[in-house]
Structure 1
Amino acid sequence: MVKAASLGARHGGEAIKAYRLVNSKFPPVALFEDVANADEFDLLYEIQALTNPRLQNEVGSLNLISRSEIPFGIKGCSYATAPFTHVNPSGSRFSDGSFGILYLADTMETAIAEVRHHQQAYWSKVHGLNYERFVFKGLVCQFDEAGMLDATRLPLSHAIYAPDDYTYSRALGADVRNSKAPGLRYHSVRAAGNTCWALTTPRHVASIIQSSHYEMVWSNQITSVHKLLAGA
C-alpha cells in the first residue's frame, strides 16, 4: 500500500488555475463572505443564529474544520470551505466520509467528466427516473500547490486509481490528511491524461469564483451536457 511519505511534495509558488462543478441548488453562504477573520465570523454567526433557524444547515458542521483552516477574506470563501463542512457520508475516492476533500480539475472538461460519472452512478439507482435536467455551476479556483503530495508519479494502473474500488485510495487519503499535507495531485480516472487535485484543507485557496452554468440531461442515462447561456 502506498504511503504519503513516499510521494514527493510539490514546490508551489505559482498560482494554479483549476476548475470545479457543483450543484447549482447550493448557493454560497454569505456569512463566510462577510467577514475577514475567525473572530468576526464567530461573532456574526452567534448573532445570526438568533434569527436564522436554517443557519446551521447553510453553514454545515463547523466542528469538522478548524477556524485556522478557513481562508477568510478570499473571494468565494464559502465555496472553498463547503466541502469540509458539508461532508458526503458516503465518502469519495480519497475520503471514507469522516472528513471533507476539495476536489479540483485541470480543465472544466475534466471536472465535467468526473461529475458526470458520479451523477450517472447515483441517478441510475433511482427507479422510474426517465427524464430530468440537472443544473450545475462551474467554479474557477486559484490555489497554491506548495507542500501537496504528487501521486501523478504513480501509473494509472496503480490500485489508488481503481475505477470503483476506493479501498487503497481512501487509505492514502487518510494518510495524507494525518500527515498534515495540504493535498494530493493525482491522475483523473474519468478523463485519462488529465490531472486532478484532492485538497485536505482550503487554506491554500486564493479564490474561487463562479463562471458558467452547465446542464446534464438525463434520459435513462446522462445523454448530454450543455453549457447554458447567461440568463438561461
Structure 2
Amino acid sequence: MESFFDGLSLADTHQILIRNIISLRVSEDLFNDLSDNPEDWLVAQRYETGAKPHNHISKAPVIDRPFEEAEWFAAIGFPFKSWTASRYSDGSFGVWYGVDTVETSVYETVHHWRSRLLRDAGFEQMVIAGDRESITGDRRIYGVRCDAALVDLRPQVSVYPALIDPESYHFTQPIGARLKTEGHPGLITLSARCDGGVFAVLNPDVLSNPKIQSYLTYRLTRQGVQVSNGPCTQQGANDAWMCVP
C-alpha cells in the first residue's frame, strides 16, 4: 500500500459537480394527517426541529449531510457493519460523493439504489418474480461548486484495478482513511459503473453554492431501471431517457 502513494499528483479542481440524491418531486407535510389546523403543523415542526441532533441543522444539507450522519452514527455501537460505510470510508467519517455528469450519477446511484435499498428490503426480488410490476423512486439533481486541489487517482486505475472493484472496498477504504487523517480535501477517481469520473470530498469547506438542476424518476422493472425526466407513466420504456440493465 505504501508504494501506491508514490508519485501521486494533485488535480486543481474548480468546477460544478453533480450530486444525485433521493428526494420527492413535491414536498409532503409530515404532520397534516395529525390535525386539520395549520397552526398545529407549525408547532409539530418546531418540536421536530428541537429534537434533531445539533449537527443536523445545516443550511446546506446537500453538502453537509454525509458528514453530519457519520458524526452522529459514530457515537452508536452498532453490532454490525456501519451502514454509512462507502468506497472510501468505513463509516467512521463522512465522504461526499459527486460526479462529472448526470449520466455518471445515474449509473452510480442506480447500483446503490438496487443493492443497498431495494435488494436488502426484498423489493427487487418481488419485481423479478413478477409479484410487482415495478418499483419507482424520485431523485433530485444538484450542481455543487468544488474548489480544491484533489489527489488524482485516475492514472492509478490501470495498475490498481481494485480502485474500481464493483463490489469490494477493502483496498480503497484505507486510502480514504489516510487522506482524511493527513488533511487532504478529497480525491478524484474513475467510476466503477461506467466511463465517468467520481469525486470523493473529505472536507465540506471546499464545496459551495448548491443549486437544483433537475429531477429524475427511477422505475425498476424486470428489464432493468428506466430513468425518466418526468414522472413515470404506463408507457414505461417509451418514456425513458436512460435504461440501466
Pair 197,27 (structure 1): closer, same or farther in 2 beyond 3 Å? farther
**SS of equivalent residue, structure 2 residue 205:** coil
Aligned partner of 1:128 in structure 2 is 126
| CA deviations over 1:10-40 (Å, ceiling 9, x no partner) | 234xx21210100104999xxxxxxxxxxxx
Query: Are 1:20 and 2:19 an aligned pair?
Result: yes
Contact 2:25 2:215 in 1 (8 A): no
Pick which of 87-96 and 3-12 moved more. 3-12
CA distance in structure 2 between the partners assigned to 1:4 and 1:213 by the alignment = 39
Query: Are 1:190 and 2:185 an aligned pair?
Result: no
The alpha carbon displacement at 1:117 in A equals: 1.0
Pair 8,216 (structure 1): closer, same or farther in 2 beyond 3 Å? same
4+ residue segments displaced more than 6 Å: none
CA distance in structure 2 between the partners assigned to 1:108 and 1:197 by the alignment = 13
Aligned partner of 1:209 in structure 2 is 211
CA distance in structure 2 between the partners assigned to 1:207 and 1:4 by the alignment = 32
Contact 1:19 1:111 in 2 (8 A): yes
The alpha carbon displacement at 1:110 in A equals: 0.4
Question: How many residue pairs get matched?
Answer: 194
Pick which of 150-159 and 89-98 moved more. 150-159
Pair 52,142 (structure 1): closer, same or farther in 2 beyond 3 Å? same
CA distance in structure 2 between the partners assigned to 1:165 and 1:199 by the alignment = 20
Query: Are 1:106 and 2:100 an aligned pair?
Result: yes
Contact 1:4 1:176 in 2 (8 A): no
Task: State, as a whole percentage, how many aligned pairs show the same letter.
Answer: 21
- Choose from 176, 179, 195 the match for 1:176: 179
CA distance in structure 2 between the partners assigned to 1:145 and 1:219 by the alignment = 40
TM-score (norm 1): 0.72
Higher RCO structure (Cα 8 Å, ≥6 apart)? 1
CA distance in structure 2 between the partners assigned to 1:56 and 1:189 by the alignment = 39
Contact 1:94 1:166 in 2 (8 A): yes
CA distance in structure 2 between the partners assigned to 1:55 and 1:160 by the alignment = 42
In our comparison, the structure showing a higher alpha carbon Rg is 2
| CA deviations over 1:117-176 (Å, ceiling 9, x no partner) | 111213133153532110000011111132x11111212552222110100111111111
Structure 1: 5+ residue stretches without partners: 29-47, 64-69
Pair 53,124 (structure 1): closer, same or farther in 2 beyond 3 Å? closer
Contact 2:110 2:225 in 1 (8 A): no
RMSD: 3.1
CA distance in structure 1 between the partners assigned to 2:97 and 2:25 by the alignment = 16
Query: Are 1:8 and 2:9 an aligned pair?
Result: yes
TM-score (norm 2): 0.69
